[in-house]
Amino acid sequence: MNMAVKVTKFGGSSLASAEQILKMKKIVEADEARKFVVPSAPGKRFKDDVKVTDLLYSLHDAASHFEETEEIYRQIVRRYTDIRDELGLSIKIEDYLEKVYEDIKTGANEDYAASRGEYLNGLLIADLLGYDFIDAADVIFFDENGGYDAKKTLSILPGALKLHERAVVPGFYGSLPNGKIRTFSRGGSDITGSIVARAANADLYENWTDVSGFMMADPRIVEDPKKIDVVTYRELRELAYMGATVLHEDSIFPVLEAAIPINVKNTNDPENSGTMIIPAVEGRGEADGITGIAGKKNFTVITIEKDGMNTEIGFGRKVLTCLEKFGLSFEHMPTSIDTISIVVADVRIRHCIEELIDEIHAVCQPDSVEVSSNMAIIATVGRGMIRQVGVSAKLFAALADSHVNVRMIDQGSSEINIIVGVENDDFEKAVKAIYNALV
Ligand SMILES: Nc1ncnc2c1ncn2[C@@H]1O[C@H](COP(=O)(O)OP(=O)(O)O)[C@@H](O)[C@H]1O
Ligand SMILES: N[C@@H](CC(=O)OP(=O)(O)O)C(=O)O
C-alpha cells in the first residue's frame, strides 16, 4: 500500500521566529506522511510587529518613489539573519537578500518584491528540515490575465513533486507566461497549499495557524468562542469570504474536485484536533443550527427606488450595466418590489461614487437613489439553518435588544446564510449579540 501523503501549510504566525519555526519542525518530523511543506513569510511575533510581507511592500513602494530604502531593508535582513542564526543554520541568506534588494531597486515588480518573503523563508526551512527546495515560480502558473492557470499547473506540478521524496514549496506566488512573478491575493499561501495537496494527490491538507481551528466567531471579537469541529467546503467559503481570515476563501477550489479534506490546526497546540473541512457532512443537516458568524467592515450600500420596478423588464440589467461601466463587482444585491440595493466595498467605489450615481440616474430613471457608506456586513452561516424555524427571529430580536440598527437584510440564495448590514460602529456589538443569541 502507498504511504499516506500530507501537505502541511504553515502560516506567517507559525513561522514568525526561530522559536515558532522549531515548533513547525517538531510537527513535520512527528509524522512521516508530512512530505510537502508550504511556508508563508515570517508573520507578526507580537501584536504591533510588522509582517515581512508588509515590509517588502513598503520596500518596493519606497524604491519606486526613489525614497529612503535602507532602514526597511535592514529590518528585513534582521528578520532572516536572526532566524538563521538562532536556528544555527549556515546558509548564506545575505547573498539571496542582496539579490532581492538589487532587483527591487532596479525596477522589479511589486508582486516579485512581496513574494520574496515566502521564497527566502522557504530556503531557510528547506535547509532546516533537510528537504528539497522547489521554487514556486517553476511549478505554479498564472495566465496572461493574471488568473491562476490550473491546467498548466496540474500538467507540471504533479511530475515535479514526484521527483522529490520531501520538499518545501514556498506559498503565495507563481509565474506569469512571460516569466514574471505573480502573487495570489493577501493570505494566498493557503491557496498554494491547496494546489500542492491536489497535485500530490494528498490524503490530507493540513493548514497550521495560531488558532485551534475555525471558531464560531472571530476570537478578537467574541471571547473564547466555541470551535467548529466539522464544516463543509461551502460553509467555509462563505465564512472565509465574509471575514474569517483563518483560511483564504479560494483555498477550497483546488482540493474540491479531489475531495481532499483540509484540517486547520494550531502550531502552538498540535494535539488539538482543530477543524476538519470536508465536502459534505453525512447524516447531519437541518437540525444543526448555525455553523459560524463572520463579517467585514467598510461597505457602501446604494439603494435604488422606483415605483413599478418589478414590472419593468431589464431594470436589473440596466443597474448592473452602470456598475460594469465603472469596472465594479458587487457583494450582495437584495431586492424588494420597488427597490434594489447594491452592496460594494468602500475601497472599490470611493473614487467613482458620484459619477456612478449620475450614471444610474441617467440610465435607470429611478425615483430616488440613497447612498450609505461605512456599513459592515455580517453573515450568519449554517447548512440547513434556513429551514430551522426561529433562527432569524432570534437573530433579529438579539440585534434589536442590543439597539443595533439593521440597515440591510439579505438571505443568500445558497440558503446557508443570513446577511445583515449594520453601521461600522455597531459591528462588534452586533457579532457578539448574534453569537450570544444563537450559540
Ligand atoms: N472564526 C474565526 N476562527 C478563528 N480565527 C479567526 C476567525 N475569524 C478571524 N480569525 C483570525 O484569524 C487568525 C488566523 O489567520 P492568519 O492571521 O491569516 O493566520 P496565519 O498567519 O497562520 O496564516 C486568527 O489569529 C484569528 O485572529
Ligand atoms: N505572506 C502573505 C501570504 C500569506 O498567506 O500569509 P499568511 O499565511 O501569514 O496569512 C501575506 O501576508 O498575505
Q: What is the pLDDT of residues 382-421, one digit of tens each?
A: 876 766 778 888 999 999 999 999 988 887 666 688 899 9
Instruction: State percent of the chain over pLDDT 70.
Output: 96
Residue 198 · residue 258 · CB < 8 Å: yes
Question: For residue 411, what is the enclosing H or E element?
Answer: strand 408-411
* For residue 282, pLDDT beyond 70: no
- Ligand 2 center to 240 CA (angstroms): 14
Atom 8 of ligand 2, nearest CA residue? 11
In testing the pocket of ligand 1, which one of 121, 242, 246 has its CB within 8 Å of the most ligand atoms? Answer: 246
* For residue 137, pLDDT beyond 90: yes
Average pLDDT (230-244) is: 90
Q: What is the pLDDT of residue 257?
A: 87
- Ligand 1 center to 11 CA (angstroms): 10
- Pocket (CB within 6 angstroms of ligand 1): 11-14, 40, 43, 187, 209-211, 214-215, 217-220, 244-246, 292, 294
Where is pLDDT greater, at 309 or 27?
27
In testing the pocket of ligand 2, which one of 37, 110, 186 has its CB within 8 Å of the most ligand atoms? Answer: 186
Least confident among 331-340, 352-361, 399-408: 331-340
Q: What is the pLDDT of residue 288?
A: 62
- Ligand 1 center to 115 CA (angstroms): 21
Q: What is the pLDDT of residue 286?
A: 46
- Three-state secondary-structure class, residue 117: helix
- Ligand 1 center to 263 CA (angstroms): 14
Residue with cell 500530490: 200
- Nearest residue to 279 via CA among 300, 255, 303: 255
* For residue 287, pLDDT beyond 60: no
Report the relative pairing of strands 204-209 and 173-175 from DSSP bridges. unpaired
- Ligand 2 center to 42 CA (angstroms): 9
Distance, CA of 373 to chain centre: 24
Residues whose CB is less than 8 angstroms from the CB of residue 218 and which lie 6 or more positions away in sequence, other chains included:
225, 243, 244, 294, 431
Q: What is the pLDDT of residue 169?
A: 98
Q: What is the pLDDT of residue 409?
A: 87
- Pocket (CB within 6 angstroms of ligand 2): 11-12, 40-41, 43, 51, 53, 117, 171-172, 186-190
Report the relative pairing of strands 6-10 and 262-266 from DSSP bridges. unpaired
Residues whose CB is less than 8 angstroms from the CB of residue 54 and which lie 6 or more positions away in sequence, other chains included:
none
The rounded mean pLDDT for the chain is 93
Q: Is this prediction's ipTM beyond 0.90?
A: yes
Q: What is the pLDDT of residue 140?
A: 98
Q: What is the pLDDT of residue 391?
A: 84
Average pLDDT (200-217) is: 96
- Give pTM, 2 decimals: 0.90
Q: What is the pLDDT of residue 412?
A: 66
Binding-site residues for substrate sit at 53, 118
Distance, CA of 411 to chain centre: 23
Residues 318 and 242: their CA atoms lie apart, in Å, by 27
| Nearest atom, ligand 2, residue 172 CA | 3
* For residue 224, pLDDT beyond 90: yes
Average pLDDT (371-383) is: 91
Q: What is the pLDDT of residue 39?
A: 98
Given pLDDT bands bounded at 50, 70 and 90, which one contains residue 293?
A: very high
* For residue 123, pLDDT beyond 80: yes
In testing the pocket of ligand 2, which one of 185, 189, 192, 250 has its CB within 8 Å of the most ligand atoms? Answer: 189
DSSP state of 246: T
The ligand minimizing its distance to the Cα of 42 is: 2
- Ligand 1 center to 314 CA (angstroms): 42
Tens-digit pLDDT profile for residues 38-91:
999 999 999 999 999 999 999 999 999 999 999 999 999 999 999 999 999 999
Average pLDDT (130-146) is: 98
Atom 9 of ligand 2, nearest CA residue? 12
Least confident among 76-90, 183-197, 289-303: 289-303
Residue 194 · residue 8 · CB < 8 Å: no
Residue 172 · residue 40 · CB < 8 Å: yes
